[in-house]
Amino acid sequence: MHPTPSAPATSVELRRATQRRRILLIEDDSALARNVASELDHRGYAASHVPDGPSAFEAMHAAQYDLLIMDRMLPGLDGIALLKRLRAENIMVPVLVLSALGAVDDRVSGLKAGGDDYLIKPFALDELFARVEALLRRPRETRETVLQAGDLSLDLIDRTVTRSGRPIDLLPREFKLLEYLVRRPNQVITRAMLFEDVWNYTFVPHTNLVDVHIGKLRRKIDAPGETPLIESVVGSGFILRAPD
Amino acid sequence: MRLTEVFATHTFRTAAIACAAFGATTLLLFGFIYWQTAWLETRRIDVFLSHEYLVLSHEDPATMLADVNTRYNSDPHRQSFAALFAADGTPIAGGLAARPAGLPNDGAPHEAAAERRGEHGTTRERMRAVAGRLPNGQELLVGRSEEDLAKLRALVLRALGLGLLPALAASLGIGLFASHRTIARVREVNQTIGSIMQGHLYERLPTAGTEDVLDQLADSVNVMLAEIERLLAEVKGVGDNIAHDLRTPLTRLRMRLESGLTRAASQSELNAVVGGAIADLDQSLAIITALLRIGELEADRRQAAFAPVALGALLAEAADLYAPLAEQRGIQLHLAAGADQTVLGDRGLLFEAVVNLLDNAVKFAPQAGWVTLALLVEAGGPVIRVADTGAGIAPEEREAALKRFYRADPSRHIAGSGLGLSLVAAILRMHGFGLRMSDGAYGFAVDILCHGKGDA
């Protein structure tokens, strides 16, 4: 069940292959699993897939993974039980739970069992990639009280923002939104992620609320002539560009 | 209807047990009355006989003989009698053919049986008698027939026969009739249930109009049936609506893909087709998601997770969320939350309900119009008002507006699955809150009545 990637031919490819982050996909629908795995491969991850809980355990003991993507309802051992067993064995790999169960309670129970994120089927591939990347990177949890993104700086104590020394007056909600983005620079953040993480809502409003909020934030942080900090990514969401 | 079936019913058994208890009690009572009366009568006779014996035995022999012959034999009722026997037992005077065998001659009253001479020969009678030997060796006997006791016994038995047996028969009969009726009704109910199980959900269990336990049971079941029928109709309605509302985007999707397949000349044209197809699919999925959510809310009426919710803070948060959107559309968003009010509920769901109403209001308010989000206090409790200066919903369309998928006509061109109000209604039903729509100086308002009286 462990498809070996084709042997790397050159040293460059070899280096890339060793750097590729390994993702284990646990999904019993083989057509969906093949599609998702091949899309992940295409995006530069090394994805393998297994159909059920027991074979997931085997795979986990045979190799190291950077991320697990698991279906909530699996034959044999269901996703939640598998997750609890992993956490009980102190395997702390980040886990993204996929589920056809969309109820708030299902989501809560999935996250309580040790899931790091919860994505409801059907999902857009861009949403999946954004969340995979977010889980692999983990946000900047620094002890610094001032966050920097290029020429923008956020003072977490005073709740003040400056860009190139110019003070920017933000409403509390705008500060919260900006802080979330600055902690995750150069990373695609989807509207749903913002809605879930910044506003703590699990439902998605019909209107383009998030875009309007981002629009207001942009107008405040980008002075005329300055490089826009927040870019839109068509079909996905937003990305805050900042030199590493 | 077989008789064994009748005997097996609870009603009949109860009747039979009651009959048996009634019969036993009556028998006991009659027996006691008879026993007491007989005992008293015997005592009375005994006292009388002892006295007579004493008087007679002290008379001189000639008077005694005369008295025995005249007085005691002249009793027209042949109740009392006397007899005199020689020392060898030969009758000397009186009405007895022979001395009663086994009667002790101790001057005390005893039970005896003797042959008595009468106009139609001798008859054997039971009697109470006192016998004693006189100083001259003769034996004197005074007695009294027990005919009175026999009459009393006959009377009691006749009363039993005339009273108890018909009463028992009548109650058993009533029991049989009631059981028969019960069985008939249960049978009718069973037939109805069979018919309901075959899908005739509109049928109701028959009631006799007597308000008895069977009627009460049937009434409860009927209420349950009505609720099931309503839910099924709703599910069917939802199913029809899903089919209807999905048909449009799916048809569009199919046409788009078909024409893309046959006509797209370049990769970019094909890309556009696929992009449009994905948008169509997303719309269909959004409809399904919203419906599942409503279904989930309606199935799950848990209130255990309810906690106090500060409505003022909740409205402020909702206003904060929608402020930029309202500003972008040139709509004034007013928040009038005044003094905070607290209700018991699920904060997340209540927020979702308010946001849905607010979303609609901001969507429907015209350019330069305004939207009001207010917390009012009415006699019954707090009221959340979401008002806008948009077209609103016509009074006759308001109830239908709550139904899933319904969209008031002027808004058909505005994007949205049209499920917002239904979702709000489902959330409010779960909380036992009401919904009210009204027009006023504030424009068209949808009020969430946090105290249960309303149309939702």
Q: How large is the average pLDDT for residues A198-224?
A: 84
Domain termination residue (choose one: A137, A171, A195): A137
Mutate to test the interface with B, among A106, A200, A204, A207 (most CBs of B within 10 A): A207
- Same domain (yes/no): A105, A172: no
pLDDT at B407: 40
The CATH number given to whatever domain includes residue A217 is 1.10.10.10
**Would you say residue A209 lies in a domain?**
yes
pLDDT at B210: 81
Distances (CA, A) of A16 to A21, A44, A133, A203, B185: 10, 9, 17, 39, 83
Instruction: Inform me whether the pLDDT recorded for A4 exceeds 50.
Output: no
CATH number of the domain located at residue range(s) B213-299 in this protein: 1.10.287
- Same domain (yes/no): A163, A67: no
Cβ B328–A215 below 8 Å, yes or no? yes
Contact predicate B337/B312, CB 8 Å: yes
* CB contacts < 8 A (A, B): 45
Q: Which of A18-22, A54-58, B242-246 has the lowest mean pLDDT?
A: B242-246
Cβ A212–B324 below 8 Å, yes or no? yes
A195 chain-B contacts, CB cut-off 8 A = none
- What residues does B332 pair with on adjacent strands? B370
pLDDT in tens, B158-198: 888 888 788 888 888 888 888 888 888 888 889 999 998 88
Instruction: Inform me whether the pLDDT recorded for B371 exceeds 70.
Output: yes
A209 chain-B contacts, CB cut-off 8 A = 321-322, 324-325
**Would you say residue A222 lies in a domain?**
yes
Looking at domain B307-449, its CATH class is alpha beta
Alpha helix segments (H runs only) across B58-122: 61-70
CB-CB neighbours of A122 under 10 Å = 14
Domain termination residue (choose one: A137, A159, A193): A137
Question: Any idea where the domains of chain B sit in the sequence?
Answer: 1-200, 213-299, 307-449
Mutate to test the interface with B, among A203, A214, A218, A234 (most CBs of B within 10 A): A203
Instruction: Inform me whether the pLDDT recorded for B39 exceeds 50.
Output: yes
What is the domain range of residue A43? 11-137
pLDDT in tens, A43-99: 999 999 999 888 998 898 888 999 999 998 888 778 888 888 888 888 889 999 988
- Same domain (yes/no): A16, A132: yes
- Same domain (yes/no): A176, A97: no
Mutate to test the interface with A, among B285, B293, B302, B321 (most CBs of A within 10 A): B321
Nearest alpha carbon to residue B173 among B18, B26, B2, B29: B18
Cβ A212–B328 below 8 Å, yes or no? yes
pLDDT at B171: 80
Cβ B321–A203 below 8 Å, yes or no? no
The CATH number given to whatever domain includes residue A95 is 3.40.50.2300
Cβ B348–A122 below 8 Å, yes or no? no
- Same domain (yes/no): A33, A78: yes
Residues 6 or more apart from B229 whose CB is under 8 A from it?
B201, B202
- Give the C-alpha separation, B347 to B451, whole Å: 16
pLDDT at A102: 63
Contact predicate B69/B91, CB 8 Å: no
Domain termination residue (choose one: A137, A154, A182): A137
- Same domain (yes/no): A132, A222: no
Cβ B289–A102 below 8 Å, yes or no? yes
Task: Provide the b/e sequence for B61-78 (b: ≥16 CB within 10 Å).
Answer: eeebbebbbeebbeeeeb
- Same domain (yes/no): A94, A20: yes
Sequence-distant contacts of B297-305: CB under 8 A, at least 24 apart: B297/B349, B297/B423, B297/B426, B297/B427, B297/B429, B297/B430, B298/B426, B298/B429, B298/B430, B300/A103, B300/B430, B301/B429, B301/B430, B303/B430, B303/B431, B305/B346
Q: Percent of chain A scored above 70 by pLDDT?
A: 86
Higher pLDDT, A12 or B344: B344
pLDDT in tens, B44-73: 889 988 998 888 888 888 888 888 887 666
Range among B102-111, B200-209, B367-376, B411-420 rated most confident: B367-376
- Our separate counts of H helices and E strands in chain B read 11, 12
Assess: ipTM above 0.95: no
A104 chain-B contacts, CB cut-off 8 A = 348
How close B292 comes to chain A (CA, Å)?
8
- Same domain (yes/no): A153, A129: no
Q: Which two tokens stand for residue B98?
A: 């022979």
A206 chain-B contacts, CB cut-off 8 A = 359, 415-417, 420
How close A139 comes to chain B (CA, Å)?
24
Question: Counting beta carbons within 10 angstroms of the beta carbon of residue A234, is it exposed (0 to 12), middle (13 to 18) or buried (19 or more)?
Answer: exposed
- Give the C-alpha separation, A56 to A65, whole Å: 11
pLDDT at B419: 64
Closest in A103, A199, A207 to B359, CB measured: A207
Distances (CA, A) of A172 to A177, B123, B406: 9, 127, 38
pLDDT in tens, B252-263: 888 888 888 888
pLDDT at A175: 94
Interface of B with A in 77-116 (CB under 8 A): none
Three-class secondary structure of residue A156 per DSSP: coil
- Same domain (yes/no): A151, A227: yes
DSSP B62: H
- Which amino acid is it at B156? V
pLDDT at B435: 84
Q: How large is the average pLDDT for residues B149-159?
A: 82
- Give the C-alpha separation, A235 to B382, whole Å: 42
Q: Percent of chain B scored above 70 by pLDDT?
A: 88
**Would you say residue A2 lies in a domain?**
no
Closest in B320, B327, B352 to A203, CB measured: B352
**Would you say residue A3 lies in a domain?**
no
Q: How large is the average pLDDT for residues A119-144?
A: 84
Question: Counting beta carbons within 10 angstroms of the beta carbon of residue B124, is it exposed (0 to 12), middle (13 to 18) or buried (19 or more)?
Answer: exposed
- The tally of domains found in chain A comes to 2
Higher pLDDT, B368 or B117: B368
The chain-wide mean pLDDT, for chain A, equals 84
- Same domain (yes/no): A123, A216: no
In the Cβ-directed half-sphere of A178, how many Cα atoms lie within 13 Å? Answer: 31
Closest residue in B to A173 (Cα–Cα): B320
- Give the C-alpha separation, B105 to B89, whole Å: 12
**Would you say residue A205 lies in a domain?**
yes
pLDDT at B404: 45
Nearest alpha carbon to residue B218 among B203, B231, B198: B203
Q: Which two tokens stand for residue A21?
A: 């982050």
Confidence band of A180 (pLDDT split at 50, 70, 90) = very high
- Give the C-alpha separation, A178 to A199, whole Å: 13
The chain-wide mean pLDDT, for chain B, equals 81
- Same domain (yes/no): A100, A171: no
Contact predicate A52/A76, CB 8 Å: yes
pLDDT at A204: 64
- Same domain (yes/no): A110, A151: no
